[in-house]
Amino acid sequence: MSRVYNFSAGPAVLPESVLKEAAEEMLDYRGTGMSVMEMSHRSKAFDDIIKEAEKDIRELMGIPDNYKVLFLQGGASLMFSMVPLNLKKNGVADYIITGQWAKKAYKEAGRFIKANAVASSEDKTFTYIPDCSDLPISEDADYVYICENNTIYGTKYKTLPNTKGKTLVADVSSCFLSEPIDVSKYGIVYGGVQKNVGPAGVVIAIIREDLIPEEDLEGVPTMLQFKTQADAGSLYNTPPCYGIYICGKVFKWLKAQGGLEAIKKKNEEKAKILYDFLDQSELFKGTVVKEDRSLMNVPFVTGDKDLDAKFVAEAKEAGLENLKGHRTVGGMRASIYNAMPKEGVEKLVEFMKEFEAKNK
């Protein structure tokens, strides 16, 4: 067996120890005589799994007691509708457009409420984060929405926008658990886990309790109401059991790494190796303004389409997989999530050096 260095943007690399543990428990989960895939979501064994997972993520992120942690389905994309449907009071919200995911969320919200784009970096292909210190926030905005790390473009907010007292909602799919955050600054923090936390099929939504409607929302499907999911402790119906189980293992792994402060340090070290190389390279160029660079997704180009394609193909042969940039951007993108070992980034840079020497 040989594993490659997988730079996929998502679904993405998971810690090897987590996969091994899951493999060991596959046929007989801790004496139950069955796999987690085969057991009732109402069983004691699964109850322990989901409760332990919630406890661990609360500890890792320091989630205050007045926030619910929900394990949901439907991908990050379903949250694009769940957020406006549940937070709608005045029926107005402000969106900051920093990439395709923010734009999709904005467009989806527009189906249910009046969504305003109050800032955008589309003028420069989303290569920067707009100045969000004094935005024209709507007086009656129910919330302000951001995509905190832009998976496709490789930008990240280094400071949160000034929402002028309005509730902040953030999609953190591609920077989830990559560094500590102050949850109390957000009304909702949510992410699809398949980027940095677990297998596809689970969305974790951390929601301040006062934002969960107390009454049934007329016209809103039962499954899409935060209240339904919160009241049932994410077990209104069958949740994505196996995915939650793997997320739980990743939380344990993160704790064993020393928690989010320690993980942030590692992520900074890894990203520095790649960015430092890009900054002095004569062939490769990072596409994002320095101040807004993501620690997780690193897009770069040679400036020559054919050479980009050659690079991706040759990298694959060298065991460096999924380096092709998003189809809307081109070039390359290395996603270096929590589970990407430092050696993977070092190997990549080594390979880039060799490629540069041969193709100057």
Q: Tell me the residue number closest to ligand PLP, measured at CB.
A: 75
Q: State both tokens at 288.
A: 């994002």
Residue 171 counted as an annotated binding residue: yes
Minimum CB distance to ligand PLP, residue 193 (Å)? 8
Q: Which is nearer to ligand PLP, 200 or 318 (CB)?
A: 200
Residue 77 counted as an annotated binding residue: yes
CB 333 within 8 A of CB 195: no
Asked whether the CA dihedral 292, 296, 302, 304 is positive or negative, the reply is negative
Q: Which is nearer to ligand PLP, 90 or 328 (CB)?
A: 328
Question: What is the Cα–Cα distance from 12 to 32, expressed in whole angstroms?
Answer: 30
| Binding site residues, ligand PLP, CB under 6 A | 10, 75-77, 101, 147, 151, 171, 173-174, 192, 195
Residue 151 counted as an annotated binding residue: yes
Residue 237 counted as an annotated binding residue: yes
Q: Which is nearer to ligand PLP, 154 or 192 (CB)?
A: 192
195 is catalytic: yes
Q: Which is nearer to ligand PLP, 15 or 192 (CB)?
A: 192
Minimum CB distance to ligand PLP, residue 178 (Å)? 12
Minimum CB distance to ligand PLP, residue 172 (Å)? 8
Residue 90 counted as an annotated binding residue: no
- Considering 68, 88, 166, 195, which one is annotated as catalytic? 195
Minimum CB distance to ligand PLP, residue 150 (Å)? 7
171 is catalytic: yes
- Considering 56, 68, 94, 101, which one is annotated as catalytic? 101
Active site positions, annotated: 101, 171, 195
